[in-house]
């Protein structure tokens, strides 16, 4: 099977590329390396350094003729989306429209789209949040990620393009970028190992739902053949506070440090956790890695990466 993965030099999508290559598939990766890293690229993948907004994206599709596309390329910084909504929309909305058009024009069988369960719903009316919950984003990033879901449904209606939308909880694990705003486990891990301060934005009581990278990869693999034309949450359904994450990371690293606190950032919700009943029903998916085991595996990765 021929697979094309956008953002395939990034944290999540590089693991997906590895999985499909290990399973004997041909994989092409498109990434502009603005946040992705060449070291994440599988040497067996065909790599194209290109922005998804580029008109020349169609040339890659015409050459590769992928059967399935995994779309992870995106502007993912909530703070930047608040300050630069035009940039956020250009990458996440216009870039995705360009990609969808390429899929339609080249007979792609299915596209699996990486959406955000943490940003599209807004501040929850109830927890855990299921897919029937209202969508009222509190930031431009959430708006742009949700908007693409509508374009996918339109492409299904007009052109017969099959899709699955996976709305992720907070994904963490090896290769997570510690320099991005969403990679709190990576940020805390590397900062502790490097003797740098660990900053918690707010009072530490903000909660998120954390899901380990291998579980997310498994969901994507299942979505290649299941969950057609559905929107599906991928999470553990468990709230974990910022302080609890910090505490788990420092304990995994055997460190005796305390966090610093700063003002809560604009556009961030206070609490979220995702119900994954639909994922179990339609994909046969359930998270297998506990938070404790996942944090331990992530800590081992950062310790090895930094040689400490």
Query: Looking at residue 193, which CATH number applies to its domain?
Result: 3.90.25.10
Residues 215 and 264 in one domain: no
Residue 147, domain CATH: 3.40.50.720
Tell me: do 261 and 139 sit in the same domain: no
The pLDDT mean for the chain works out to 95
83/221 same-domain check: yes
pLDDT digits (tens, 9 = 90+) for 254-283: 999 999 999 988 778 899 999 999 999 999
Quote the pLDDT of residue 110.
98
What is the C-alpha separation between 216 and 283, in angstroms, rounded?
Answer: 12
Alpha-carbon distance of 221 to 42, in angstroms, equals: 17
- Do residues 131 and 217 share a domain? yes
Q: Alpha helices, DSSP H only, in the chain? A: 11-22, 57-64, 78-83, 85-89, 95-105, 140-159, 184-193, 213-223, 242-252, 277-283, 291-306
pLDDT of residue 216: 98
Per-residue pLDDT, 182? 62
> Could you tell me if 246 and 275 lie in one domain?
yes
* Residues with active-site annotation: 141
Q: Count how many domains the chain has.
A: 2
Token pair of 142, please? Answer: 């959430």
Q: Are 91 and 217 members of one domain?
A: yes
Domain that holds residue 14: 2-171+210-234
Residue 287 reports pLDDT greater than 60: yes
Per-residue pLDDT of 103-158, as tens digits, reads 999 999 999 999 999 889 999 999 999 999 999 998 899 999 999 999 999 999 99
- Tokens standing for residue 81: 């989306």
User: What's the token pair of residue 167?
Assistant: 């709305």
pLDDT tens profile 67-107: 999 999 998 877 788 788 999 999 999 999 999 999 999 99
């Amino acid at each position: 099977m021929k697979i094309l993965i956008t953002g395939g030099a990034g944290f999540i999508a590089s693991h997906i590329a590895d999985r499909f290559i290990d399973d004997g598939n041909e994989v092409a990766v498109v990434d502009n390396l603005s946040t992705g890293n060449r070291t994440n690229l599988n040497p067996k993948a065909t790599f194209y350094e290109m922005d998804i907004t580029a008109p020349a994206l169609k040339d890659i599709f015409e050459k590769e003729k992928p059967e399935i596309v995994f779309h992870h390329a995106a502007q993912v910084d909530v703070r930047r989306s608040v300050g630069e909504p035009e940039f956020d929309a250009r990458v996440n909305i216009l870039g995705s429209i360009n990609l969808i058009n390429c899929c339609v024009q080249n007979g792609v069988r299915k596209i699996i789209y990486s959406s955000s369960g943490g940003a599209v719903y807004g501040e929850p009316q109830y927890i855990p949040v299921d897919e029937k919950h209202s969508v009222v984003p509190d930031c431009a990033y959430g708006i742009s990620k949700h908007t693409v879901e509508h374009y996918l449904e339109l492409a299904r209606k007009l052109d017969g393009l099959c899709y699955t939308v996976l709305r992720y909880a907070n994904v963490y694990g090896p290769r997570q970028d510690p320099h991005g705003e969403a990679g709190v486990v990576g940020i805390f891990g590397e900062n502790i190992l490097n003797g740098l301060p660990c900053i918690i934005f707010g009072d530490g009581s903000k909660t998120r739902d954390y899901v380990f990278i291998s579980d997310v990869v498994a969901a994507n693999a299942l979505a290649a053949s299941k969950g057609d034309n559905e929107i599906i949450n991928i999470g553990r359904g468990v709230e974990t506070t910022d302080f609890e994450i910090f505490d788990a990371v420092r304990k995994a690293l055997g460190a005796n440090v305390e966090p610093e606190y700063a003002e809560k950032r604009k556009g961030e919700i206070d609490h979220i956790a995702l119900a994954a009943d639909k994922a179990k029903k339609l994909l046969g998916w359930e998270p297998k890695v506990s938070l404790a085991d996942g944090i331990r595996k992530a800590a081992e990765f950062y310790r090895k990466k930094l040689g400490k």
